Amino acid sequence: MAQPDTVAMNGGVLGRGLGTPILLLLMLGMMVVPLPPFLLDALFSFNIALSLVVLLAAVYTQRPLEFAAFPTVLLLATLLRLGLNVASTRVVLLQGHTGSDAAGQVIRAFGEFVIGGNYAVGIVVFAVLVIINFVVVTKGAGRISEVSARFTLDAMPGKQMAIDADLNAGLIDQNEARRQRAEVSQEADFYGAMDGASKFVRGDAVAGILVVLINILGGLAIGMLQHDLRFGDAMRSYALLTIGDGLVAQIPSLVLSTASAIMVTRVSTAHDMGQQIVSQLFANPRALGVTAGVLGIMGVIPGMPNIAFLTLAAITGGTAWVLAQRRSASVAVASPVAADVAAEAPAAAELKELSWDDVTPVDAIGLEVGYRLIPLVDKNQGGQLMQRIKGVRKKLSQEIGFLVPAVHIRDNLSLPPNGYRITLLGALAGEGEIHTERELAINPGQVMGTIPGIATKDPAFGLPAVWIEPGSRDQAQTLGYTVVDAATVVATHLSQLVQTHAHELFGYEDAKQLLDKLGKSAPRLVEDLTPKLLPLGTVHKTLQNLLAENIPIRDIRTIAETLAAQASRSQDADVLTATTRVALGRAIVQHINGMAPELPVIALDPELEQLLLQSLHAEGGDGGGFEPGLIERLRNTLVQHTRRQEAMGQPSVLLVAPALRLWFSRYMRPSASGLAVLAYNEVPDNKQVKVIATVGK
């Protein structure tokens, strides 16, 4: 029963697929098959209508990528116009001696009505149109297309890195990142195609000049030699038809050139061009007021067109006055009045006895901002930071495995105006200064030049950076900088601190909530685990240990099963953590090195490893008997290897015996934060270990 529908659908798709080839065949046919005058009239009218439609589509398109087919449309319209030039040339040269209507009514109207039947005037008008089209519009649009294509291609790596930065900060999800990457690629393809399409427009303008010259010379030769016309009669007949034909083709060409220039000069923001021009051109009443004054002075000068200048001065001055009144009214409405707020505030209540309600607990995560950053966190003033922070919390909660606490934001007048401070559990964790009117260009280490701005460092990772003007964003991305706005800087800093201190934020209640959620899918496992086998406090401490070593606890089922299996052997949280790490080995290695089949590691010299094991066992496992000089040399060597691996973009992993792993992890973490310490039994069997360095005594 579905076969007829399928056939109909396939037929419709086939019909749409044949549209463009048929149109191209018709254009080629116009160049070969003679066309009657009435058909030329219809095609010339269609050509003019098509150029107007393309122009209006370019004007009303909010973003250039919304009209991504414009280069193809430009090529097809150019081919159509050239095909009509060939067809009309054939008719003009064959039938031009019969009169001014030999090539149809459209060419006749442009030859007689538009230029008054005077071919000399027609030549001048045609030359002016060609100069405007070729020298001004086409040349300028071609140059802009070339520059836009080059800078768009150069800026692609920076834009891709900015998308990756937003994705890592939790500001966007995978689908949005995929959409933005596709948009960057489409933008590069569009401006590259526009660079080539501008050559079509330029070639079309040159072809128009040559066609007119060839037609006039050919018409004179044919009229005088074949039809025995005098020079004046031949010039009048063929020149009028040729100029009419040239004007019919040149006007749509000028319209399409203008459309091309509009497309390449558009800024890639979603705004209607008309609204954008009006809002920006008439945004400042002062400019209109000064213009009105200049027009008024010119209007009172004797001999000048007083009425015209004075009328324009009155209109411009009135418009400036209206805009100034609207701006004053909007400012008055937007500005809060402190007196009204004070009047509406209720009277202070009498002091009551203190209670536990007056003791406010510290915020798990706090963000304090200076007074200039208040608009950044105020939704009513267009602030985006609140939404960014929600995205960070959602992303981190999904990655780490527990619900990240809400962020309490407040203003702090003791901070610098552009300063902010991030607190965790009431203690200072990080701070910085940002400029809301600028953007931060971060140097990832491979930039190709410098850019003017306020030199600083990225608050999250300490990379060299520059606060730049928003207009320099494309230039910075072209040079290799990663450019982010002020809200993203704060959100990224917050994300980095929460990831580093996740174990401190993971509380007793969070562990209970995590087990309760697991109990919905595995109730017997949770019932047997706590409190029968392990107290909740031990489970909480084990999960904290995992988070402290940057291991997500998303796989709570595997963690609970391992704890239940090992509870009869040990109740010590450190021992349980080591056993759980072995069960999570595949996830841990994947978190460090992704899906790569080979794991590069730093190993200890066997003699050194044996010495450390003996010292560790002799001192009861706390490492107190290690030689201080040896520990300092180990720390410095591992820090150097860690920095070298980070510079090459590779993970830094130290592979040691299981008994040494906990000690190395605790003592090396403060100085080499990027170093991951793995035990031999934590590496999955399907991973190949590649020793890149060996540390000895």
Residue 11 has pLDDT above 70, yes or no: no
How is 223-235 classified by DSSP, letter by letter? HHHTS---HHHHH
Which of these, 518, 465, 513, 510, lies nearest to 492 by C-alpha position?
465
423, β-bridge pairs: 366, 428
Q: 106 near 84, Cβ under 8 Å?
A: no
**Does the bond joining 531 to the residue before it have cis omega, within 30 degrees of 0?**
yes
pLDDT of residue 112: 64
Residues 6+ apart with CB under 8 A from 673: 500
DSSP per-residue string spanning 79-98: HHHHHHHHHHHHHHHHHGGG
In this predicted model, which residue has the larger pLDDT, 118 or 536?
A: 536
Pick from 545, 579, 551, 553: nearest CA to 565: 579
pLDDT at 557: 93
What pLDDT is attached to residue 267? Answer: 52
Q: 3-state SS string over 637-686?
A: HHHHHHHHHHHCCCCEEEEECHHHHHHHHHHHCCCCCCEEEEEHHHCCCC
Q: Please say whether the beta carbons of 327 and 299 come within 8 A.
A: no
Query: What is the pLDDT at residue 4?
Result: 47
Best-predicted range by mean pLDDT (87-96, 218-227, 684-693):
684-693
Which of these, 405, 396, 468, 458, lies nearest to 432 by C-alpha position? 458
Q: What is the pLDDT of residue 576?
A: 93
Angle at 565 between CA 564 and CA 570, to 5 degrees: 85
Is the pLDDT assigned to residue 562 strictly greater than 90? yes
Within 8 A by CB and 6+ apart from 185, the residues are: 156
Q: Is 239 exposed, middle or buried (0-12, 13-18, 19+ CB in 10 A)?
A: buried
Average pLDDT in the 385-411 region? Answer: 89
Tokens 């209640």 — which residue?
509
Q: Angle at the Cα of 130 (from 124 to 134), degrees rounded to 5? A: 155
pLDDT digits (tens, 9 = 90+) for 202-221: 777 777 778 777 777 887 78
341 pLDDT band, cuts 50/70/90, is: very low
Residue-wise pLDDT for 403-459, tens only, equals: 999 899 888 888 899 999 999 988 999 999 999 899 999 998 788 888 999 999 999
- Among 68-72, 215-219, 230-234, 611-615, top mean pLDDT goes to 611-615
Mean pLDDT calculated for residue range 472-496: 90
pLDDT at 678: 92
* The predicted structure's pLDDT at residue 620: 57
pLDDT band with cut points at 50, 70 and 90 for residue 672: low
Residue 341: Cβ-neighbour burial (10 angstroms; 0-12, 13-18, 19+): exposed
* Per-residue pLDDT at 266: 65
Helix boundaries (H) for 101-173: 105-109, 119-131, 139-168
CA atoms within 13 A on the CB side of 523: 1
Closest CA to 385 of 503, 469, 484: 484
| Model confidence band, residue 518 (pLDDT cutoffs 50, 70, 90) | very high
Question: Which pLDDT score is estimated for 641?
Answer: 86
Q: Which of 22-36, 300-314, 482-496 has the lowest mean pLDDT?
A: 22-36
Rounded Cα distance between 675 and 690, Å, is: 16
Among residues of the chain, what percentage have pLDDT more than 70?
A: 82
**Edge-to-edge strands, sheet with 454-457:** 454-457, 464-468, 439-442, 482-485
Q: Which of 155-169, 188-202, 654-668 has the highest mean pLDDT?
A: 654-668
601: part of which helix (H) or strand (E)? strand 598-604
Given pLDDT bands bounded at 50, 70 and 90, which one contains residue 552? very high
Q: Shortest CA distance to 30 belongs to which of 18, 47, 16? A: 47
Separation CA 384–CA 391 (nearest Å): 11
> For residue 443, what are its two tokens?
């140097």
pTM attached to this predicted model: 0.55
Compute CA distances 622 → 419, 546, 549, 658, 659, whole Å: 42, 19, 18, 14, 11
* pLDDT: which is higher, 272 or 403: 403
Residue 338 banded pLDDT, cuts 50, 70, 90: very low
β-pairing, 454-457 vs 598-604, is unpaired
Task: Measure Cα distances from 321 to 283, 296, 429, 580 in Å.
Answer: 12, 15, 52, 74
Q: What was the pLDDT predicted at 339?
A: 44
For the chain, what is the total number of helices (H) and then of strands (E)? 27, 12
How many whole angstroms separate alpha carbon 478 and alpha carbon 159?
9
Give the side-chain half-sphere CA count within 13 A for 114.
22
Q: Which of 133-147, 647-661, 682-696 shows the lowest per-residue confidence on average (mean pLDDT)?
A: 133-147
The full DSSP string for 167-217 is HHTTSS-HHHHHHHHHHHHHHHHHHHHHHHHHHHHHHHHHHHHHHHHHHHH
State how far the Cα of 666 lies from the Cα of 664, in Å rounded to an integer.
Answer: 6
Residue 118 CA to residue 362 CA, distance in Å, equals 90
Average pLDDT score over the chain: 79
* pLDDT of the residue at 231: 75
Q: By C-alpha distance, which of 254, 169, 220, 244 is closest to 482?
A: 169
User: Within a 13 Å sphere around the CA of 193, how many CA atoms are in the beta-carbon half?
Assistant: 18
Q: What is the mean pLDDT of the segment spanning 227-244?
A: 73
pLDDT band at 371 (very low <50, low <70, confident <90, very high): confident
pLDDT: is 678 or 674 the higher one?
678
* Average pLDDT for 630-658: 85
**Does position 34 have pLDDT exceeding 80, yes or no?**
no
